[in-house]
Amino acid sequence: MAKKSEVKLLGAWPSPFVLRARIALNIKSVDYEFLEENFQPKSQLLVQSNPVYKKIPVLIHQDKPICESLIIVQYVDDVWSSDGPSILPADPYDRAVARFWATYVDDKLFPAMKSIAGAKGEEERKRLIKEVEEGLALLEDAFNKITTKGNNNYLFFGGDQIGYLDIAFGSLLGWLRVTEISNGVKLFDQVKTPGLVNWAESFSSHGAVKDVMPQTHNLLEFAKTLMTKMAHTN
Ligand SMILES: N[C@@H](CCC(=O)N[C@@H](CS)C(=O)NCC(=O)O)C(=O)O
């Protein structure tokens, strides 16, 4: 078990990317100090630790920074390999598939979801919502393929335990719910994405997740404040 002083996580509570690092550390039962970044202005520690992107999360392990959420998740899996279940699948093909979909989440799904809030006009908003729905339908198919093995149907992308893709995608669930509420739509439901609806419930109530996953009403409040600030600066 790492000493708390050896592991620090520079982050902020509403960030889905920071949540990934927190879940990975929880899976491995790594004790860490959480340093809340408030960006007003960006802290010296953040700028020094992540001079390229100046973004959170940054994991600081034995005074060395590791940046980018998915790289942090893999690092945690590598360093604490014998503490708790593996995060990445053992099989090389399964690892490649998990990495493919995690990249898809970051490159396609999340950007589409994020851009709904900034849509210019109803037509664009509807187009983006449709894009997210189609994106989720692809993930529903992937979920069914990945979790059906022989006669077994697993709860998670990672099998019996949450793994890399569960963390990559599951960390966005809070913001997905905020998007649904803010736009009066259901992106996820028992008809369109039954597998993902059940998965989301199991993921959100998992021991490594439930205490660190931000509450939807807090994210909604945060989003409203952010939108108000942006409206004043434009
Ligand atoms: N690809 C990065 C994205 C991290 C990211 O966008 N972090 C946001 C907070 S959610 C941030 O630090 N934003 C500050 C900025 O853009 O200046 C990762 O996966 O870690």
Give residue 52's domain range. Answer: 4-79
Percent over 70 (pLDDT), the chain: 97
Average pLDDT of span 217-234? 87
Measured CA to CA in angstroms, residue 169 lies from 109, 136, 152, 178 at distances of: 9, 11, 22, 15
Cα 66 to middle of ligand 1, angstroms = 13
101 and 146 within one domain: yes
Last residue of a domain, which of 29, 45, 79? 79
- Where residue 58 sits, what CATH number does that domain have? 3.40.30.10
Task: Assign 114 to helix, strand or coil.
Answer: helix
Of the candidates 30, 56, 79, which is a domain's last residue? 79
Q: Is the pLDDT of residue 5 over 70?
A: no
**Which residue among 29, 47, 79 closes a domain?**
79
140: CATH: 1.20.1050.10
**Whether residues 55 and 16 fall in one domain:** yes
In a domain, 13, yes or no: yes
Establish if 140 belongs to a structural domain.
Answer: yes
Tell me if 17 CB under 6 Å of ligand 1: yes
Strand partners, 156: 159
pLDDT digits (tens, 9 = 90+) for 83-115: 999 999 999 999 999 999 999 999 999 999 999
Judgement on whether residues 74 and 178 belong to the same structural domain of the protein: no
CA-closest residue to ligand 1 atom 6: 55
Total domains in the fold of the chain: 2
Determine whether the shortest distance from the Cβ of 69 to ligand 1 is under 6 A.
Answer: yes
Q: Of 190, 217, 186, which is closest to residue 201 (Cα–Cα)?
A: 190
Cross-strand bridge partners of residue 7: 61
